[in-house]
Amino acid sequence: MVLAAVGVLSGVGVVLVGLLYRPLPHPAEADSGQVIRWLVTRDLSRESPEIRRALVVRLEELGRQSDRPVDWGKADERLNDTYRRRLFSNVPLLLEVWLAMKCEGYHALAPTQRPAYADRLLDAIDSWRAIDTLRPKSADMLAPAAAVPSVDAPPDRFVDLFFRTLQQWRAQAEPQQRRRIDEFLLTVQTRWFLRQFHGWWDGKSDNRGSSDRSA
């Protein structure tokens, strides 16, 4: 999935110095390093919908092709705040495209298959949480008006960004599309809350077991 693919790409150790301003190929023909350059050097709000969709598709393709582990620490050493700001301004734009694609996929499935589909989507979000290590370090980028959550947001800041992007995407949709989006959103949020509840309950069970053993 695209969320997992972004994490994979940032672990390839692309050397940015001297390479960032070379001409970029179309995303469909880009290798992993060139896709990263698309994300950190180009303002995707000025690119066509076709280009944004092609980037999302290419990210998913590269994620399926690679078994490299995510190495956000290495990317953290290479990106200054200029590139971090560009990355984080582009992430919501790609998320919107990705969500539209996933909404289409959701409605193409039988109702019994949709919860598992939402779970896979949430797995992809989990794989992208480490992107928070590349959050811009300058305070202005953490202001509430920015595209990313503020520094006072919940610890799961990338998930917060995901759900805010999801809501913004819904608000911008045509009225006739909102019913389909609402159904998709309800399933994703329900599966998310179930995960949170199970994690909380498992934690309580572990604590209860520890107390019983120490008694």
Each residue's pLDDT tens digit, 91-143: 899 989 999 999 999 999 999 999 999 999 888 776 667 677 778 876 444 43
Residue 68 is classified by DSSP as: P
Please report the pLDDT score of residue 160 as a whole number: 78
Q: Please indicate, yes or no, if residue 107 is contained in any of the structural domains.
A: yes
Q: Please indicate, yes or no, if residue 88 is contained in any of the structural domains.
A: yes
Sign of CA dihedral 112, 162, 45, 131: negative
* 53 vs 205 pLDDT, higher one: 53
Q: Please indicate, yes or no, if residue 209 is contained in any of the structural domains.
A: no
| Residue 70 contacts residue 8 (beta carbons within 8 Å) | yes
Judged on CB neighbours under 10 Å (0-12, 13-18, 19+), 180 is: middle
* 26 vs 147 pLDDT, higher one: 26
Please report the pLDDT score of residue 210 as a whole number: 53
Q: Please indicate, yes or no, if residue 215 is contained in any of the structural domains.
A: no
Please report the pLDDT score of residue 125 as a whole number: 76
Q: Percentage of residues in the chain with pLDDT exceeding 70?
A: 65
Please report the pLDDT score of residue 112 as a whole number: 96
Instruction: Output the average pLDDT for the chain.
Output: 76
Q: Please indicate, yes or no, if residue 212 is contained in any of the structural domains.
A: no
Q: Please indicate, yes or no, if residue 6 is contained in any of the structural domains.
A: yes
| Low-confidence winner among 43-47, 150-154, 162-166, 207-211 (lowest mean pLDDT) | 150-154
| pLDDT at 2 > cutoff 70 | no
Mean pLDDT across the stretch 189-197? 88
User: Closest by alpha carbon to 28, among 12, 51, 9?
Assistant: 51
What's the domain range around 139?
Answer: 2-203
Q: Please indicate, yes or no, if residue 210 is contained in any of the structural domains.
A: no
pLDDT band, residue 14 (cuts 50/70/90): very low
Judged on CB neighbours under 10 Å (0-12, 13-18, 19+), 12 is: middle
pLDDT band, residue 17 (cuts 50/70/90): very low
* 158 vs 1 pLDDT, higher one: 158
| Domains identified in the chain, total number | 1
Please report the pLDDT score of residue 107 as a whole number: 97
* The one-letter amino acid at 146: A
Q: Please indicate, yes or no, if residue 211 is contained in any of the structural domains.
A: no
Please report the pLDDT score of residue 154 as a whole number: 43
